[in-house]
Structure 1
Amino acid sequence: MIDLHCHILFGIDDGPGTAEDTVALAQAFVAAGTTTVLATPHVSFDWPANDSALIAAKVADVRALLAERTVPLDVRPGAEVALTRALELPDDELRRLTLDDSGLLLLECPLSPVAAGVEAAVAELRRRGHDRLLLAHPERVPAFQREPALLARLVEAGALTSMTAGAFSGRFGRDVARFARDLLADGLVHTVASDAHSPARRPPGIGGPLAEAGLTADAIEHLGRRAPLAALAGRPLPAAPPVMVTRRTGPLGRLLGR
């Protein structure tokens, strides 16, 4: 699996606090079947020191640490950039914050229930030339929960989505699982990531939660490897499998009623 969204760098945000915590999280990634992760610490007003230079240095440290401990996990640089912060950052810095210098920007829309202006803000980023946008965990964004058509319009304009695997298996509650199901049915799920922060509290893994939720093996491979690779390369996404969920067992299968 290729995980486009996780918090594996220690001492930089709400992910691991120490180097040993990062090693433990990396080992959990490997155990969960992940081969490559994009390290995407928060870049927001809550973490004002985080910038592309600090992230690059931290990634280099973690890569060296994992090589020393013989943990076979490939860690690449990236960032989860808050929409409000992205509007304030220079264009050159935004480009440096894209996933592995691919030009694909992982964007976190506001999680506040009263946030407004998402569509206009995204349009402003596109006007500035940042037209390869990957929207982080849209299933948990109140603006999209209130108005799913808003997310559909952003996708129609070219944005991609990065859902959280645990959302499908009920980790964030039944309402979020139901909304994730709706987005999947509407063709608004492009990639799935773990958004992992720790081995226990917010664990890694894409295939496990999706299988638990009732997605097919082909759907898991598509959402967790084929589509992320294409998104990073700037290629059109491969066609989604015709059948994504096949069984009633698991939260998603029961919600789908299939």
Structure 2
Amino acid sequence: MVLVDIHSHILPGIDDGSPDMATSLDLARAAVADGITHALMTPHHLNGRHNNHKNDVIKLTGEFQQALDEAEIPLTVFASQEVRLSADIPDALDNDDILFCDEDGKYMLLEFPSEDVPTYAQNMTFNLLGRGITPIIVHPERNNRILHEPEVLETFLKQGCLTQVTASSYVGVFGKEIADLSERLIDAGQVATFASDAHSLAKRESKMTEAYNKLAKQNQSDVEKFKQNAKNFINGEQVSLDWKTLRKKKRFWIF
């Protein structure tokens, strides 16, 4: 059975993920144990601290695949990037320095800053969509602005952007508030798929199987849809959301 992870940081020594090849191989073994068969390698790019250029990521991903094969770890990896929202994105695109989820350049992982959604974000996503690129907004549930104003995300969904929730968020690794929002977004059809966003740090390992087991208890059809959407992303095939506005959370008053 194929299980695709579209977002991980297990390439060695390239960002805030795995520090070395030995750790990367251990993370790959853990990913396989978690059911993952194919994974995008998505180091940070344009985030102010890490600029992992396209050719460098392609080279390192090839070397990592060779090491996986030699270690007999059954994981197939592909070069990609987690691109931070930045005014530099158009130039990077023009200079052929962006990697996508698919070979045709249809889907791109887009990360917002942790604390806010900048005012120019909507213009940037509009620009990307105009180029035929669909942004996949990564882990919106962990953005502090969206966490407290989840309706902000709907502006981007209306444009045609897609989203990916971190499996660890959904199962409660980052706390109840983030888990609750993850559930609400999924219930409203505002999420396309899960991803591990695996790092080498504690609490940042893959939780894909646990997340899918939880989702199966709530809506089995979402399990198959999420898995198929992840496959479609790396194949450049159609993914769309049939979403609705989030219901307002009930408030309980104590007199």
TM-score range, shorter chain: 0.7 to 0.9
Alignment correspondent of 2:252: none
Q: Give the corresponding residue for 1:219.
A: 222
Letter in 1 for 2:224: E
**Aligned equivalents of 1:116, 1:87: Cα separation in 2:** 16
Query: What is the identity, as a one-letter code, of the residue corresponding to 2:207?
Result: G
Q: Does 1:73 align with 2:75?
A: yes
Q: Is the CA contact (8 Å cut-off) linking 1:207 and 1:220 kept in structure 2?
A: no
What is the CA–CA distance in structure 2 between the aligned matches of 1:100 and 1:57, rounded to whole Å?
A: 17
Q: Deviations over 1:27-47 (max 9, x none)?
A: 000100000000000002434
Matches within 5 A, 1:6-45: 6-45=8-47
**Aligned residue identity for 2:32:** V
CA distance in structure 1 between the aligned counterparts of 2:115 and 2:91, rounded to whole angstroms: 21
Amino acid at match of 1:108: E
Gap change, CA 1:85 and 1:17, over 3 Å in 2: farther
Structure 1 residue aligned with 2:250: none
Deviations 1:195-240 (A, max 9, x none): 01128531113121332464445433321x2111123333333888
Q: CA-to-partner distance for each residue in 1:84-126, whole Å, 9 max, x for gaps?
A: 1653533244674112424111000111247443223322333
- Match for residue 114 of structure 2 among 111, 114, 127: 111
Give the secondary-structure state (helix, strand or coil) at the position aligned to 2:7.
strand
Q: CA distance change for structure 1 residues 164 and 234 in 2, over 3 Å: closer, same or farther?
A: same
Any stretches of 5+ residues in structure 2 without a counterpart? Answer: 243-255
How high is the TM-score relative to the length of structure 2?
A: 0.84
1:120 corresponds, among 113, 117, 123, to: 123
Residues of 1 paired with 2:144 and 2:132: CA distance? Answer: 23
Equivalent pairs counted in the alignment come to 238
Residue 203 (structure 2) aligns with: 201
Distance 1:119 1:146 in 2: 19
Aligned to 1:173: 175
Q: 1:162 to 1:239 in 2, by over 3 A?
A: closer
SS state at 1:98 partner: coil
RMSD: 2.4
| 1:57-206 equivalence runs, <5 A | 57-84=59-86, 86-87=88-89, 89-93=91-95, 96-103=98-105, 104-113=107-116, 115-127=118-130, 129-198=131-200, 200-206=202-208
Question: Contact conserved, 1:166 with 1:210, CA < 8 A, in 2?
Answer: no
Distance 1:178 1:48, change over 3 A: closer
**What amino acid is aligned across from residue 237 of structure 2 in structure 1?**
R
Q: Is 1:139–1:145's contact at 8 Å kept on the other side of the alignment?
A: yes
Distance 1:211 1:22, change over 3 A: same
1:159: how far off? 0.9
Q: Is the 8 A contact 2:167 2:206 kept in 1?
A: no
